[in-house]
A and B are shown apart, each in its own frame.
Chain A
């Protein structure tokens, strides 16, 4: 506006975007102070979906708190479950069986694809491209069908268990999954033809919401949001859990830390996830899917129905919870959104004394003012999409 003589009066305008707004991906409310279309100040308000998961977790046994984690990031519940059971296993000091580890890695990567693909669909839809959204949901449907085949549930799966997984996978499931991953790269090419070099898309994302590597680390960003700035931090590589140290994959990195680079990183992650699933199927070892740790894992159901010893054992574990050693454990896992951490303080009882959920979306939402201020109001939408938040996880 410099150089133009001001012959009229301007006024700052404060508007509330959300909590009921299709582009805020849930119940996020942003109070924006605008000068024309430029955002001067942006204040996020969260908490509309607060259910007190941490408080509830403190009042349930370790087994019973598992379904709560489904409801954190409800579009990638498989990954939350995997993160939760890994943390609990670390606290208990037990390990899952080899086969269970591979299965978990496989389903977690399926969850990653399904989460990223819904991110891709909604993010480009927010910016104005309708077609990829429809295709994206077609692919997501195939993954959800596979989850249904696996455990009967499509969204709130609760499939992994402390010490392994709920049930073994069938050959039919493996065949269908193999068909999917053979098919998936070509579908990815389709999306990329539609979006990656699209001129409108590039104009809306290149150079928007830039955050430098140092700032991104300082703000505690994780996942694709961090790697878009070129920081090579991936929990799967830094502190491998499950079978991630036995499969090969690359960590895609961005350079400039803008919306476009974060887009490229997540696209790359989907291709890598596909690669991991392929290796998991090929390397899948034989054996039991549940660790034999009678003090900490539930006995097999068929034995519980037959014999009194196992019935008593299950009854005690379910009602009282296991006798957990005293101590505290933090365990982070790489979920599609970033680093999901669980911090448990155990006082020896069957329930956690303190259960803390370190939610990536919560941290990512806090960086919104930094990304949005000084940009246009339309870029706020691009920024909300690019940091990939789910408010269920943010508010817990």
Chain B
């Protein structure tokens, strides 16, 4: 099925949820409200004519100065059987950074959602094991947010301070000849 047809089909089924349909370079993205995302994904996964069985990717985007709803969760879906793709985008506001988890539909979403939580601080309701994944568990801040400086936080990470202290301690064993 053509991507625009898929987008229309989603709009037909969930008219109140679809905010925008946009095409760029032959790829169609459907912007959605976040509340019924689980239902929409379940529909896309189980409908026999759509059959989106493969979640290519799930990631977050931070539109800090640009949009009212600061975050967007982007789902790239593909159907291996029917060979068509669609991009879903769910808007997540800053004051309520939470969205339903889709791990129940695609098991592969598990780590992607953990990464998104790690990098943007967006909570995924219903996720079986929502922990930080790439950053240390006691890390402060969410690195991919636009207001997070590329040089890192002003305060050094506690784990690294520990390493520095130990290095200082071991200095006394250094060869002084």
Q: Which of B92-100, B107-115, B162-170 binds A? A: B107-115
Are B106 and A220 in contact, CB atoms less than 8 angstroms apart?
A: yes
Given contacts A46-B133, A217-B53, A221-B108, 8 further A-B pairs with CB under 8 A are: A47-B136, A91-B25, A214-B53, A328-B87, A343-B74, A353-B61, A366-B108, A370-B107
Task: Write out, one digit per residue, whether chain A residues 59-80 have a CB within 8 A of any chain B CB (1) or not (0).
Answer: 1000000000000000000000
Are B110 and A54 in contact, CB atoms less than 8 angstroms apart?
A: no
Give chain A nearest CB distance to B86 CB in angstroms.
11
Task: Write out, one digit per residue, whether chain B residues 38-71 have a CB within 8 A of any chain A CB (1) or not (0).
Answer: 0000000000000001111101011000100000
Chain A residue nearest to B66 (CB atoms) is: A347
- Please indicate the chain A residues that have their CB under 8 angstroms from the CB of B115 in the complex: 362
Are A220 and B143 in contact, CB atoms less than 8 angstroms apart?
A: no
Return the contact of B80 from the options A50, A233, A343, A362 (Cβ within 8 A): A233
Return the contact of A47 from the options B24, B87, B133 (Cβ within 8 A): B133
Are A47 and B134 in contact, CB atoms less than 8 angstroms apart?
A: yes
Task: Write out, one digit per residue, whether chain A residues 40-64 have a CB within 8 A of any chain B CB (1) or not (0).
Answer: 0000001100101011100100000
- Please indicate the chain B residues that have their CB under 8 angstroms from the CB of A215 in the complex: 107
Interface size class of A (residues with CB under 8 A): 35 or more
Chain A residue nearest to B29 (CB atoms) is: A328
Can you list 20 A-B contacts with CB-CB less than 8 angstroms, sorted by A residue number?
A46-B134, A47-B132, A47-B134, A54-B144, A56-B150, A214-B53, A218-B106, A219-B106, A220-B54, A220-B107, A220-B109, A327-B25, A330-B27, A341-B76, A343-B57, A358-B56, A363-B112, A366-B110, A367-B108, A395-B134
- Please indicate the chain B residues that have their CB under 8 angstroms from the CB of A354 in the complex: 61-62
Binding site for B on A (CB under 8 A): 46-47, 50, 52, 54-56, 59, 90-91, 93, 214-215, 217-221, 231-233, 238, 327-330, 332, 339, 341, 343, 345, 347, 353-354, 356, 358, 362-363, 365-367, 370, 395-396
Give chain A nearest CB distance to B156 CB in angstroms.
16
Known: A56-B150, A395-B134. A218 touches B27 (CB 8 A): no
Are A50 and B135 in contact, CB atoms less than 8 angstroms apart?
A: yes
Binding site for A on B (CB under 8 A): 24-25, 27, 29, 53-57, 59, 61-62, 66, 74, 76, 80, 83, 87, 106-112, 115, 119, 132-136, 143-144, 150
What separation, in Å, do the CA atoms of A339 and B76 have in the docked complex?
A: 13
Of A328, A358, A365, most B-chain CB atoms within 10 Å:
A328
What separation, in Å, do the CA atoms of A90 and B108 have in the docked complex?
A: 26
What separation, in Å, do the CA atoms of A43 and B27 have in the docked complex?
A: 36
Listed from nearest, the 6 A-B pairs whose CB atoms lie closest are A220-B108, A327-B24, A47-B134, A366-B111, A358-B57, A50-B134
What separation, in Å, do the CA atoms of A220 and B55 have in the docked complex?
A: 6
Known: A218-B106, A356-B59. A396 touches B27 (CB 8 A): no
Are A217 and B80 in contact, CB atoms less than 8 angstroms apart?
A: yes
Give chain B nearest CB distance to A302 CB in angstroms.
33
Give chain B nearest CB distance to A7 CB in angstroms.
37
Return the contact of B57 from the options A214, A341, A395 (Cβ within 8 A): A341
Return the contact of B53 from the options A46, A218, A330 (Cβ within 8 A): A218
What separation, in Å, do the CA atoms of A363 and B54 have in the docked complex?
A: 12
What separation, in Å, do the CA atoms of A332 and B78 have in the docked complex?
A: 11
Known: A218-B108, A219-B107. A238 touches B83 (CB 8 A): yes
Give chain A nearest CB distance to B159 CB in angstroms.
12
Are B143 and A52 in contact, CB atoms less than 8 angstroms apart?
A: yes
What separation, in Å, do the CA atoms of A90 and B133 have in the docked complex?
A: 31
Chain B residue nearest to A347 (CB atoms) is: B66
Known: A231-B80, A329-B24, A347-B66. A217 touches B54 (CB 8 A): yes
Are B150 and A59 in contact, CB atoms less than 8 angstroms apart?
A: yes
What separation, in Å, do the CA atoms of A354 and B25 have in the docked complex?
A: 17
What separation, in Å, do the CA atoms of A347 and B24 have in the docked complex?
A: 13
